[in-house]
Homo-oligomer: A and B are copies of this chain.
Amino acid sequence: MSEKAVELFRASIPIFQALSDSARQDIILLLAEKEPLTVNEIANESTLSRPAISHHLKILRDQKLVQIEQKGTQRYYSLALNEAVELLKRLLATVENECL
């Protein structure tokens, strides 16, 4: 396997970790339905507490899977999946070429 493949695998780890949690998937799926949403709006749709939602949003933010637009005291979250999708597509293409 090429060095590029190693780098793609390693770069994908934090994306895999961010996406491998059902609470975070729920946030993504909710935003896909009706973005943008505030933290409170997301927490209201969830069984989790607002701090837990805030925690998961931070993980999604750190991986640039969501973006924020601040309006007054509120922060509106919306999806920013393009970059991650492109990374994973490159990884899959490399795996298809070198491992199948």
Contacts and interface: CB of A to CB of B under 8 A. Distances in A.
The count of identical subunits is 2
Given A81-B95, A85-B92, A1 B33 contact: yes
Contacts of A5: 29, 32
A25 interface: yes
What bracket does the count of chain A residues touching chain B fall in?
Answer: 20 to 34
A12 interface: yes
Interface of A: 1, 5-6, 9-10, 12-13, 16-17, 19-22, 25, 28-29, 32-33, 79, 81-82, 85, 88-89, 92, 95-96, 98-100
B1 A32 contact: yes
A92 B83 CA distance: 12
A99 to B, nearest CB: 5
